[in-house]
Structure 1
């Protein structure tokens, strides 16, 4: 297995904003079009977590610089989140179980 990277985004939202859901869908669609994007997983209860997987640190950096993504980041800080935290990790090994 070739190592790859995970971006772990955890957050607490300020409330329920209809425009947030539209922007989240747009970001999901745009991320999937970015070079180096592999896939993502997400869940939300009180705290949300999204983990996106990327081929390289360069691909992550390019996604961070994408103009629509930058706009979403600004809106997240000003309107949508009480807080968020981003972690970038190198995945060197993986295994799974499923029936």
Structure 2
């Protein structure tokens, strides 16, 4: 879940804790047939899970991909984990698309954010 050239460059907002995160870190293989389509389908499908809050994605130039999924509670995360289409995509990922991956699930106890306000100055202003 890391091919997002059209995605806005902004992190998912900070939510009132507690909530859960699933951090999926991958290195992909050269075989990527069907990956983009499946990835797009998973992004659409997870949005239907009650309690899904959002997803952040990052990709390093060296090929490390990181996807963080945010869920209101453990039940929402469990629903996503057990979704039949998601399970099938996981199997395909292990068979074809991923050289390696890790999954970390954590309960968030503290969260805050920052957004720079418009100061009315031009980008070159000091």
Q: Normalised by the shorter chain, which TM-score bucket?
A: over 0.9
What's the TM-score once normalised by structure 2's chain length?
0.74
Aligned length: 99
Q: Secondary structure at the match of 2:111?
A: coil
In structure 2, runs of 5+ residues without a counterpart are 1-15, 117-126
Distance 2:71 2:90 in 1: 19
What is the match of residue 39 of structure 1?
Answer: 54
Structure with greater helix percent = 1
1:6 pairs with 7, 21, 28, which one? Answer: 21
Is 1:80 matched with 2:97? yes
CA RMSD of aligned residues (A): 1.1
Structure with greater strand percent = 1
Distance 1:36 1:61 in 2: 11
Is 1:54 matched with 2:71? yes
In structure 1, runs of 5+ residues without a counterpart are none
- Write out the 4+ residue segments of structure 1 that deviate beyond 6 Å after TM superposition: none
| CA shift for structure 1 position 16 | 5.3
Higher RCO (C-alpha under 8 Å, 6+ residues apart): 1
What is the match of residue 65 of structure 1?
Answer: 82
What's the TM-score once normalised by structure 1's chain length?
0.93
